[in-house]
Structure 1
């Protein structure tokens, strides 16, 4: 049998994870990783380190699902990663989420289907919104540029005067990549 790892997270420095950690210790966690970060962030150093340290046969436990993440797709992504590594997953307060049992595996599979359904709905709404915008004559993407646009001409003049790229970008309020797009319009690249 592998090692039991725990993960505790609080959103702000004003909160503490003591009650989570006590529950994780009672559940047999040999190591506990911590983060002070919003659940909406998928990049958290404690979580990343824990996921890196896990190996086949280990078990990963959280006090509650919302400590791992706020969105269903993110939860499914993390638990799928755990499954691929051969790591079990348990949530202490949502007892039905325990991928080390057949019933828990079934519940997680339902979560995965719901996350896929949610992604499909988002995609469908996005396409409907784009179609409605096109019907109203709006087209997405970057605005088209012409060699005759004032900023394009100014970038060319400043370049010919030998100004540094960062100074040109600062003066025109553009990014470096936009500067190079302007030069390309002037056939300089």
Structure 2
């Protein structure tokens, strides 16, 4: 028997309303609580998308993987095509709700490919506009960027390390990622 799986993602943990909205739409599309995978991580950090990896590993012939929008799955055409190939290899299909697109049909596959290209174009345009805006703000002295995590938290990390805490305990206590802890300790 085929299963309808749903995947919901927001880029940051403060987007709870967006995540709840996606989950409600996935349920309306036929997903149940056990078949919805959700996480709050940037799509650019694929190695951290553990729930996405889990749902991809579960797919078998006849299953459907549902996204509320194309941007919840990938940020580039190449990446989206890789995902579609992996889903297709499992014998499953993709349904994207906001595009009314289902790769189970020839029209759906065409629509999928067209919109994946448009989404990539829009993302590249947004990044270009962002870079221009940042450059202009820097030229006017209005943009400083964020302080590097390691610089801002190094004293706290070193203090916690001197207490014999594990690197994960240090990361949790300092509110930073474990990679930052390693960088700080290596530099000390």
TM-score (norm 1): 0.56
Q: Which residue of 1 aligns with 2:111?
A: 107
**RMSD of the alignment, in Å?**
2.0
**Structure number with higher helix proportion:** 2
Distance 2:75 2:6 in 1: 18
Distance 1:64 1:47 in 2: 15
* Displaced runs of 4 or more, over 3 A: 108-112
Q: Does 1:98 align with 2:102?
A: yes
Preserved contact between residue 42 and residue 74 of structure 1 (Cα < 8 Å): no
1:28-50 Cα offsets, whole Å, 9 max, x none, are 01310011100112231010000
Q: Does 1:83 align with 2:85?
A: no
The structure 1 residue matched to 2:43, chosen from 39, 45, 70, is: 39
Matching of residues 149-164 of structure 1 within 5 Å: none
The structure 2 residue matched to 1:60, chosen from 65, 68, 76, is: 65
Greater Rg over alpha carbons, structure: 1
Deviation at 1:72, TM superposition (A): 1.3
Deviation at 1:11, TM superposition (A): 0.8
Q: Gapped runs of 5+ residues in structure 1?
A: 119-189
Distance 2:79 2:96 in 1: 15
Relative distance call for 1:20 and 1:111 in structure 2 (3 A) is closer
Find the residue that maps to 1:76 and give its secondary structure.
helix
Deviation at 1:109, TM superposition (A): 4.7
Distance 1:64 1:103 in 2: 17
Preserved contact between residue 39 and residue 68 of structure 1 (Cα < 8 Å): yes
Distance 1:51 1:80 in 2: 11
Deviation at 1:90, TM superposition (A): 0.6
Aligned residues: 114
1:101-158 Cα offsets, whole Å, 9 max, x none, are 220122335568x59xx9xxxxxxxxxxxxxxxxxxxxxxxxxxxxxxxxxxxxxxxx
Q: Gapped runs of 5+ residues in structure 2?
A: 122-188
TM-score (norm 2): 0.56
